[in-house]
A and B are shown apart, each in its own frame.
Chain A
Amino acid sequence: MKGGTDMTVCNENIKELVAIYSTEGLTATEQNSVEEHIKECEECRYEFDIYQSIEQELDLTKYKAPDSLHTDVMKRLSKYKNLTKYTQYQPYLSIAAAIVFVVFLGFVGLMNPNILKNSSDEAMMVQDEMAVQDQITEEANNEEAATAESYDTSITTFDAEMEEALEDAPSEGAPSEDVAPRMAMEAQTKELDKQESDHRREIIIGLIVLSVFSGILIYRRAKKR
């Protein structure tokens, strides 16, 4: 109900006093003003009731947690890892560590000649054979060079001897008896190199798959903590 004396006028000022009536903050005069006002003003009486209910609901001072609560909380906390910034990123760090570790192991493995021993041995044998063939060819060339040198010593017998030398030399365009096996060996070496390259690629793919798989496992485990 609005109007009447100053005490019963419904304004912002009296509404504020109604809101804090139950606290110790009002003077005796203010308390009387509120009491007089709510007798007359239905709206403020209604609001007064609301404030009383809110206050009653929000008052937590009379409640005390059971003693066992603290013990139970600390028991449950003991199962937790310490949540520092490091542990927040732990799952990601674990994945990174796993990948680095597996890749490191992979490179160590690739550097180890035993892993590729079979193909390396075969390659070595072919290389040895090629070396022997090279030596034979070199010796033949040396002999030819020595013969040519002796031809140079006599200009007068040059034509005859050249003729003889040309007769001994192989005809141009036709492969010599030494070149055919060498080409076959080169083809074999290329084949072995290709096999070795394929072998390395398989190992690297295997390592990547392994690192991704182990990373996922570690991540899931770290997330569960």
Chain B
Amino acid sequence: MDAIEEKLIKKAQKGTRKAFEKLILQHEDHIYAIALKVLKNEADAYDAAQEICLKIYQKIDQFKFESAFSTWVHRLAVNTAIDEYRKLKRKLQKEYSYDQPITEDGGTMKDFIQDTGDTPESNLVRQEQIQMVWEALEKLKDEQKNIIIMKDLQGQSYQEISESLQINMGTVKSRLARSRIALKNVLQDMWEQSNV
């Protein structure tokens, strides 16, 4: 965390709206992208992104500088987006239930890898699978999650991550590999549990 960001966070925590505005501007793309990834719909993602920003504003004084601000924002964004997704899903299920029941069976990992088609049912199954990646990410240790956020979500280079975390390139590489393996394992466990 750089000094400018820290200063902005502290000012925002004291209620300075201008500071919050500068701060949130740096994270809006990330927030919107998460909302879009989880909700798979631009209009829903737009609404959810607004809710996420407001939630960050309301909860910013709970940020204790124990992690990177971007990680904290990311966590809040994913959780809020998943909540919004569940609300929409419940609504959708209610609408569908008049025609045909939708099973909770999420299918197999193969369904996740290969698109299962365009029927409403298969789309819903695929959305469920995709959403699980975000949930699985939240179950990782902070150290693992951070490096995946930096590399996969934000697209930072090994060099940038190395400088930011102050670890050498070899460590970045091995940590990223182990974190990705952990993410895949968590995801597989979630799939197994959902198919019981």
Binding site for B on A (CB under 8 A): 15-17, 19-20, 23-25, 47, 49-51, 53-55, 57-61, 63-66, 69-70, 72-74, 76-78, 80, 82-85, 87-88
Q: Contact check, B15 vs A83: say whether CB atoms are below 8 A apart.
A: yes
Q: Complex: how many Å from CA A16 to CA B60?
A: 37
- B61-A85 in contact (CB<8A): yes
Q: A54 and B183: CB pair below 8 A?
A: yes
The residue that B32 contacts in the complex, of A23, A25, A69, A74, with Cβ under 8 A, is: A69
- With an 8 A cutoff between CB atoms, is B137 at the interface? yes
Number of interface residues of B (CB under 8 A): 53
List 14 contacting pairs A-B, 8 Å CB cutoff, sorted by A.
A16-B181, A19-B180, A23-B151, A25-B169, A50-B184, A54-B133, A58-B133, A69-B28, A73-B28, A80-B58, A82-B15, A82-B17, A83-B15, A84-B14
Contact surface of B with A, Cβ cutoff 8 Å = 13-17, 20-21, 24-25, 28-34, 36-37, 46, 49-50, 53-54, 57-58, 60-61, 109, 112-113, 130, 133, 137, 148, 151-155, 157-158, 169, 172-174, 176-178, 180-181, 183-184, 187
A211 to B132, CA, bound (A): 52
Per the bound structure, the CA–CA distance linking A47 and B109 in Å amounts to 10
In the complex the two chains form, what is the Cα distance from A74 to B53 in whole Å? 9
Q: How far is the CB of A72 from chain B (nearest CB, A)?
A: 6
